[in-house]
Structure 1
């Protein structure tokens, strides 16, 4: 099997699975229970927060454990909107956000919020000047993703953070789900108030994640109950999931330091080989993140290629996994100004540090074979 759909989900690391099992077996008590077992479980939960904070270079009371990217994004965006709507109802985001941000903003429009959806250029990047110009007296939130999940474009988060610093009455949220462990980001003193991360994109487990919430930021909770997780996310904590996330975070950060050049070389080879195939056009820019490469085969339905390769044990994808069953054009590729033909035939290869050059060579070979077989369909 050659698995090249790592931006949809990654294979859990054995050490992550082991830590989950160990904690589930030995620390099964409720952290809120006042008996000894509950106390030991609570200590491990606090230790996990401390470790996560150290890895991210933030304070431990800025860590909220979540079930992943979708929940984190919704808590951040709706939490700010509902808490601060008395001061303003204007939110700035981009046209290429993940569905969990894009649809959250759409839902707020139904509640009377005004959303500015910033355009991107052909490389899928928002203009810093556009961000600056979009700010109004009633703007309460800017939400811009770090790395796009379909085309890998990297947004100017540092520059937008500096703009946010100059507007202390608005908040800046970053969806860092695709960048975590691949494209570095600084949280402390960056202008970023909220940042979403997910475990299953970094060889962790589905249903695990973190929302970074800077000290002093107030959110309206979407869940009400026992006031767990700083009163932001009520519900009995998933301790085993939290420990597993921290383990995955530590491992991916080690891989990032050790293997970033390898990932870059895989991407470079993949781009060169795809560029030599007559029927292929590449949608990801050369400045995009090294683990995501989006391309189109105009005239060919992407699901046909996905199923053809899948029968041979090679797995790639089209669009975001959250919307891949909707087989119309890619909203992201279209937003870059590319033709409908390209937007309707977009395919995504997403890598991880575990992929090898031999796997990429085999993929290219099988892709060429599949294109030749399917030429009749394309004509």
Structure 2
């Protein structure tokens, strides 16, 4: 009799524990579902209004995402986008063959030449927007950029707060003030600090002190600090409980980020980078430090950076692999109300060696596009005419005699 009572008591206890476990599991699942739904809502708030269309990599091709950290310029004119410069410039790469993730930093003092004038690459965005910056990076490294992500420091601060901050050991005395940008940095070498969003921004941006002392290598030293910080962020994001912070993370980005990555791909790409982050390689392109016209530049040298360029994988376009088909049959169609625009595009093509070009008008269209069934030549022409979107050539009678159709839309009228 006593044995039966004990058995009933044990069964009752087990039943209660089972119910508690089921409730806990249900609660966790509800939290996960809520987190994912909140994440989806946040994703569709992310803006891409002013960016050129992205280009999804083909099967087996590497994915290259250009990351831009844009400064605030003059705090009294924050509405003026033209004053902003890219304070931080990186390429985030995933190679599906090697499963490697590469993060390549580009020094902001890297020399570029636009219409015969010298500039630092961090000025490209202010000079010509996203398309100009994308083109300059592609030309510099002989790669294709698939997507763009622009992050301002509001997004950066809110993201670090959303993941709960990052602990860093400070290696240098950091004392710097910039009243114009309301930036005040104060860290002591040797201390370990839990960096919230505001403090993380200060650490991320520092390269010299008020008295001129600081990193001997200037911006290159700053990049090294940034990469150490990013490694800490990646490590923190690999904690499985980060899933419950996803809504906060995406909400941090929603109002302060622009990207042309389709919303439905953002989480997939993010998980891919995170899963393979143990295979992450961080590097910085190098060059010769030179003074030109009283300005200091990093003069890119391709021979110094062959390993980095090769690491970017299938998106690289080495000239030795395929000759440019300068005899390709090209038709340029003017889809704007600007007279002579197709002719000006033809002039650019002729100046770059292309010889078989016709021009004509077409119905007015908003976006420019290159249509071709030969992706190799389309990618080369893309770099000449500054049209970011590539698509397959439609099966139309009027297109049948041409290898490439270039349709110039209204978003192209500021290129000349």
Q: Name the TM-score class by shorter chain.
A: under 0.3
Greater length-normalized contact order (CA 8 Å, ≥ 6 residues apart): 1
Task: Specify which structure has the higher proportion of strand.
Answer: 2
> Highest Rg: 1 or 2?
2
TM-score, normalised with respect to structure 2: 0.23
TM-score, normalised with respect to structure 1: 0.24
